Chains A and B, each alone.
Chain A
């Protein structure tokens, strides 16, 4: 484990969208952060953030990360995160990424040896889902002696980049883990009614190109099934193969996540259902910022992994809860 230096840290944030802007504000408000440099190709958005924060936040350009950087948070659109993470690791900075793109998640996990050589931690998928889902899966697993299955689902989208990713995910192949091997199935198939925390409640969810299984399977040795689904309307499914018909909203409404763990406790089979509700961009920002501060304050195991692999998950979950993203538990149903 590598601990970062004790003095206030210098952080670079890539992306100033709905999630990135919130991350910048949360980090700049922390006494453990000395300076936040934010980068985004949209100069107008960049100026808005700089003007809304104090002098500890400045604007930067390009991908090159200064060697004085302690941590980098990558909240740029999917497809651009691997290059930014590589640049940050090259500079010896710990990295937190938020991508849910399958190809990019694979690229980031493949940087494991590079991160170990550079003696830094690379947290892959530290958002609402993946991210909080991975943490809740880890937390829920402590209630079971053996975890057989993990099924995660999400409803809602954050900023425009998240909405585009949601649209693409529904028309792309999903990656599920079943009986010890990867299975690819069409996005938009496998309808299942998932019950989310209020006010989202019941939503039909479908398979999609989501990266959760790639992050959960390495963290749970011997697991039999891992699936990920996302909520979609009939219109979403019909228009999924087409280009987006209209520009996405600046930010979606309230969303939610749900994690269902099935396993054994002694000789009995048990089901644990955990979840959370928030605006997805806000939820992702809380998880990413709390993870970055966790890296700065407590260090992280060198190499690339998701939040399900974190050892002291309780501290991080507690910090996330203190920031207003409170996990919930579904209670009252009969365990099978």
Chain B
């Protein structure tokens, strides 16, 4: 009975640690979107302020 309870605790801890590791990897890796495929930046002309 006690051994089963200890195993349950151990599995829970392992599951939490693995979950945290996966969350950390997901948080750090990847990108936030797709860059624009067309278009670009141009400076505003003075008459565009008026």
Q: Which residues of A contact B (CB under 8 A)?
A: 139, 191-195, 197-198, 202, 204-205, 234, 237-238, 274-275, 314, 317-318, 321, 326-334
Pairwise interchain contact B43-A317, C-beta atoms closer than 8 A: no
Q: Mark B15-50, 1 if CB is under 8 A from A, else 0.
A: 000000000000110111111101111111010111
Q: How far is the CB of B29 from chain A (nearest CB, A)?
A: 8
The listed residue (A139, A191, A238, A328) touching B32 by CB distance below 8 A is: A191
B44 contact from A193, A234, A326, Cβ within 8 A: A326
Q: Is the CB of B42 within 8 A of A328?
A: yes
Give Cα distance in the complex from A202 to B32, angstroms.
10
CB distance from B5 to the nearest CB of A (A): 34
Number of A-B contacts (CB under 8 A): 63
Main secondary structure of the interface of A (DSSP, over half): mixed
In the complex, which residues of chain A have a beta carbon less than 8 angstroms from the beta carbon of B46? 318, 321
C-alpha spacing A321/B41, complex, angstroms: 16
Residues of chain A within 8 A (CB-CB) of B32 are 191-194, 204-205
Interface residues contributed by chain B, number (CB under 8 Å): 20
Chain B residue at minimal CB-CB distance from A194: B32
Contact check: which of B40, B48, B49 meets A332 at CB < 8 Å?
Answer: B40
9 additional A-B residue pairs with CB within 8 Å, beyond A238-B28, A318-B50: A193-B32, A193-B34, A202-B35, A317-B49, A318-B49, A326-B44, A328-B44, A331-B39, A333-B36
Q: Is the interface of B mostly helix, strand, loop or mixed?
A: loop
Residues of B within 8 A of A327 (CB): 43-44
| B49→A234 contact, CB < 8 A | no
Q: Once the chains bind, are B42 and A195 in contact (CB under 8 Å)?
A: no
Q: Show 19 A/B contacts (Cβ-Cβ < 8 Å), sorted by A.
A: A191-B32, A193-B34, A198-B41, A204-B32, A237-B28, A238-B28, A314-B49, A318-B46, A327-B44, A328-B41, A328-B42, A328-B44, A329-B44, A329-B48, A330-B36, A331-B40, A332-B36, A332-B40, A334-B38
Q: Which of chain B's residues have a CB closer than 8 A to the CB of A202?
A: 35
**Nearest-Cβ distance from residue A182 to partner chain B, whole angstroms:** 23
Complex CA distance for A330 and B32, rounded to whole angstroms: 19
Measured CB to CB, the nearest residue on chain B to A327 is: B44
Q: Which residues of chain B come closer than 8 Å to A237, judged between CB atoms?
A: 27-28
Instruction: Report yes or no: B41 in contact with A197, Cβ–Cβ below 8 A.
Output: yes
A327–B49 CA distance with the chains assembled, in angstroms: 10
The listed residue (B38, B43, B50) touching A328 by CB distance below 8 A is B43
Partner of A321, one of B28, B34, B49: B49
Q: Which 7 A-B pairs have the closest CB atoms?
A: A332-B39, A193-B33, A191-B32, A193-B32, A328-B41, A192-B32, A333-B39
Q: Which of B34, B40, B41, B44 has the most CB of A within 10 A?
A: B41
Residues in chain B near residue A326, CB distance under 8 A: 43-44
Chain A residues with Cβ below 8 Å from B38 are 332-334
**In the bound complex, do residue A193 and residue B40 qualify as a contact, i.e. CB atoms below 8 Å apart?**
no
